[in-house]
Amino acid sequence: MPANKTYETQRLLFRPTNTEDASFILALLNTPKWLKYIGNRQLNTVADAEAYIKNKMYPQLERLGFANNTIIRKSDNIKIGTCGLYDREGLDGIDIGFAFLPQYEKQGYAFEASNKLKDVAINEFGITKISGITTKDNTSSHKLLEKLGLKLMGPISLPNDDEELLLFELKIH
């Protein structure tokens, strides 16, 4: 497994997602909002989730030092969501993304984690452009990206994806 760098906020701890998170990733990637707004990753078993982590998350983490993080609530050590920085084909800038289990939405966790990760991206990794992509109807994500300081740039289409998405950006000088 790649380097295991951890970060924390007042309420949250996060670290790179690893194969021990496979059951959690299986549950998260099959929630109704994930399926609606992000897409079906065809994960049906814990083994599928382990393979997804190894094949989709580890390579970027090894290459760039950052990728998907599992978000853990400090008060009870429960895995509640993910937040990460992603190098996406067809996107200029590093994409910041987030997803939480339904019972942990609307409690400020996504902003808390994303805001910390934005600071890490800028101050630790020297990233000068942070992007956010989302479906046109995902208004919760639009609001969070704007709260993080990203500005709506307009529609974008990524390679191998038929759906037109909205692109948000933050340029750091």
pLDDT at 173 over 90: no
Helix (H) or strand (E) holding 98: strand 94-100
Segment 146-156 shows an average pLDDT of 96
**Domains of the chain with bracketed CATH:** 7-171 (3.40.630.30)
Q: What is the pLDDT of residues 23-49, one digit of tens each?
A: 999 999 999 999 999 989 999 999 999
Lowest-pLDDT choice from 2-6, 17-21, 71-75, 83-87: 2-6
- The whole model's pTM is what? 0.93
Sign, CA dihedral 107-39-136-149, equals positive
